[in-house]
Amino acid sequence: MPEGDTIYRAARTLHRALAGGVVERFESGFPSLNRVHVDTPLTGRTIESVAAAGKHLLMHFSGGLILRTHMRMNGSWHLYRPGEPWQRPRGAMRVLVGTRDFVAVGFDVPIAEFIAAARLARHTQLRQLGPDLLGETFDEEEALRRMREQGASPIADVLVNQRVVAGIGNVYKSEVLFACRVAPSARTVDLDEETLRRLLATARRLLRVNVSPGRPPMTTYGGLRRTTGRDNPRDRLWVYGRAGKPCRRCGTPISLRKEGPSARLTYWCPKCQ
């Protein structure tokens, strides 16, 4: 599943390319989106902005209309010049928004809907999101309050609960817990406030580092997120994807556990954590 940094970069790239442009072409595999387009056409509207809200991507159009997409496991946004060959088959196209200069294509997007701007604040999924780690402002106190409400829940589950704090997925969950030397099975209620604050600060720092300027400006995903700070791509992560390999700190083999109906992956070092 794309994590908060992936969605943030995609939104930033789409905003750079599309904001201020007039929609000249709209297509969708979603009947509900097509009905809106027939009743109140997207063509002729100006794309005002594209922004991320946790793992949701919001494309704002003139006339008070917003396109919300969520990538789930396999969705992605691609950006092309008109006439440029697509990297994915046309059958995977679920949403297409084109301007004079660019064509944005959402492939395998499982969730897409139009929302009236006036109703955005009341949207159920968006309203329930916890503080966004990549937001311009971050309400740490509210995030702490929501974490404490989780009681005996394992901290690994709490970190990926988007209603507690938005933006963390399996990769950052494992990397943050390792960086803070916290066992993924630790009960949240047993962790002191200093540890909870350190987890939030570390998550925010790692996410922000991986969306820092300098990546290709027209690439929706720059690839290879890093948490170790090392230049070698093979050394870019501390524990994620390294089951059975030696811990980069102590040499102990990294452990792996799959949890829940979605088989969420958690990697950790039994000795360091």
Last residue of some domain: 99, 127, 155? 127
Q: Which of 55, 173, 225, 242 is catalytic?
A: 55
Instruction: Give the pLDDT of residue 71.
Output: 86
The CATH number of residue 264's host domain is 1.10.8.50
The pLDDT assigned to 216 comes to 44
- Residues 144 and 206 placed together within one structural domain of the fold: yes
pLDDT of residue 218: 39
105 shares its domain with 200: no
- Spatial distance between the Cα atoms of 209 and 166, rounded to a whole number of angstroms: 16
pLDDT at 221: 44
Please choose, from the candidates 185, 157, 187, the residue with its C-alpha nearest in 3D space to the C-alpha of residue 173. Answer: 157
Total tally of structural domains belonging to the chain: 2
Do residues 117 and 150 both lie within one domain? no
> Residue 217: what pLDDT?
41
* Residue 87 domain boundaries: 4-127
- Interhelix angle 4-18/193-209, rounded to 10 degrees, is 40
**264: annotated active-site residue:** yes
Residue in 215, 191, 194, 206 with CA at minimum distance from that of residue 3: 206
Residues 44, 107, single domain; the answer is yes
**Residue 3 is among the residues annotated as catalytic for this protein:** yes
Residue-wise pLDDT tens digits, 79-121: 999 999 999 999 999 999 999 999 999 999 999 999 999 999 8
Q: How many residues does the chain have?
A: 273
Specify which residues 97 forms β-bridges with.
Answer: 26, 104
Same domain, 103 and 175: no
Give how far Cα 57 sits from Cα of 62, 68, 70, 198, Å: 17, 6, 6, 28
Residue 105 lies in a domain: yes
Of 127, 152, 180, at which residue does a domain stop?
Answer: 127
Domain holding 119: CATH number? 3.20.190.10
As averages over each run of 10 residues, the pLDDT of the chain (273 residues) reads 83 95 97 96 97 93 96 89 95 97 96 94 90 92 97 95 94 96 97 98 93 54 73 88 96 91 88 97
Residue 115 and residue 222 in one domain: no
pLDDT at 225: 81
Q: Which of 2, 9, 45, 48 is catalytic?
A: 2
Residues 120, 123, 127: CA angle, nearest 5 degrees: 100
Q: φ and ψ at 199, to 5 degrees?
A: -60, -45
